[in-house]
């Protein structure tokens, strides 16, 4: 079964998905192969942005799954008409205008929305099979995390297709829509919080006399290496944390100061605030 995928609004995130899906390694079997479109139509709002997509695609080799790309602008209706899966990649404040523009043809199509704040109810005014995705900036580098919620009409058979496409840019995590504000805070804003932590470790090294570049390299490798250790060991973070603590040593001393300064609760309060604002912004849009 091959199908056409239309990308409405092929900007930063749209192009990240386009290149990840286009360049995905050859599907392992027929079932997986069926999840890949034979054709992707990218829809931008003007010629320069469409040209940007064309130039990007020219840098690609042959798609391992034989995908063809047609870069267009001003042809949203015909693109959506031809497609059976539509990826909404526009900025949230442009989404209404773009969706209304294809209202006559989008009914019955599977709509994958990256537009932050747009609820399944709101998207379901256009088509009943909707999945709402909250991803983040690391997706541009294929290291994203994407939380996905579905409308009731999305069948069990359609979910693996969404999973296969979205997983090309990062980790796919399905959650009910009630968790979307939390996902916005933890996954959407999360990278900024981690960057704050990275800066803190960098500045610690700097303050202690390690040059900036080495401080940054060490901080980055410690962050990445520690997550890999959790992943590979499967152990609970606290179990691993205590394994690092030599009795009376440097580690437990540092941890106790961080506990005392409320690092953990500061992070938790920050993520909570982000979720609160996310739900507030959601209210305003209704």
The tokens for 4 are 């056409």
Nearer to its own copies, 107 or 240 (CB): 240
Nearer to its own copies, 2 or 250 (CB): 250
Nearer to its own copies, 27 or 56 (CB): 56
CB of 75 vs its own copies, minimal distance in Å: 28
CB of 13 vs its own copies, minimal distance in Å: 12
CB of 98 vs its own copies, minimal distance in Å: 18
| Cα 217 to Cα 50, 223, 256, distances in angstroms | 38, 10, 25
* DSSP structure string for the chain: ---EEEEES-SHHHHHHHHHHHTPPPPSSHHHHTTS-SEEEEEESSHHHHHHHHHHHHT----TT--EEEEEES-HHHHHHH-SEEEE-S-HHHHHHHHHHTHHHHTTSEEEE--TT--HHHHHTT-S-EEEEE--GGGGGT-EEEEEEE-TTS-TTHHHHHHHHHTTSEEEEE--GGGHHHHIIIIISHHHHHHHHHHHHHHHHHHTT--HHHHHHHHHHHHHHHHHHHHHH---HHHHHHHH--TTSHHHHHHHHHHHTTHHHHHHHHHHHHHHHHHHHHHHH-
CB of 187 vs its own copies, minimal distance in Å: 5
CB of 201 vs its own copies, minimal distance in Å: 6
CB of 49 vs its own copies, minimal distance in Å: 19
Nearer to its own copies, 123 or 169 (CB): 169
The tokens for 182 are 């939390």
CB of 80 vs its own copies, minimal distance in Å: 27
Nearer to its own copies, 98 or 180 (CB): 180
Nearer to its own copies, 112 or 275 (CB): 275
Helix, strand or coil, per DSSP, at residue 195: helix
Nearer to its own copies, 86 or 120 (CB): 120
């Amino acid at each position: 079964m091959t199908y056409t995928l239309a990308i409405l609004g092929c900007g930063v995130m749209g192009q990240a998905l386009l290149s990840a899906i286009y360049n995905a390694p050859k599907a392992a079997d027929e079932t997986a192969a069926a999840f890949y479109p034979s054709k992707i139509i990218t829809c931008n709002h003007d010629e320069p942005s469409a040209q940007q997509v064309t130039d990007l695609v020219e840098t690609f080799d042959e798609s391992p799954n034989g995908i063809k790309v047609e870069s267009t602008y001003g042809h949203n209706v015909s693109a959506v008409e031809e497609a059976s899966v539509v990826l909404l990649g526009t900025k949230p404040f442009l989404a209404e205008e773009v969706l209304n523009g294809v209202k006559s043809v989008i009914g019955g199509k599977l709509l994958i929305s990256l537009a932050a704040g747009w609820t399944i109810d709101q998207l379901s005014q256009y088509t009943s099979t909707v999945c709402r995705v909250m991803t983040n900036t690391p997706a541009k580098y294929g290291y994203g995390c994407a939380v996905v919620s579905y409308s009731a009409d999305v069948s069990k058979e359609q979910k693996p297709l969404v999973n296969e496409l979205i997983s090309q840019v990062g980790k796919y995590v399905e959650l009910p829509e009630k968790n979307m504000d939390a996902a916005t805070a933890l996954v959407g804003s999360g990278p900024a919080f981690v960057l704050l932590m990275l800066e803190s470790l960098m500045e610690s090294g700097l303050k202690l006399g390690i040059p900036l570049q080495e401080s940054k390299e060490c901080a980055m490798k410690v962050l990445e290496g520690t997550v890999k250790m959790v992943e590979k060991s499967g152990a609970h973070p606290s179990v691993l944390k205590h394994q690092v603590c030599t009795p009376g040593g440097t580690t437990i001393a540092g941890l106790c100061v961080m506990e005392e300064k409320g690092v953990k609760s500061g992070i938790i309060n920050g993520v909570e605030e982000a979720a609160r604002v996310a739900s507030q912004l959601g209210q305003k849009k209704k």
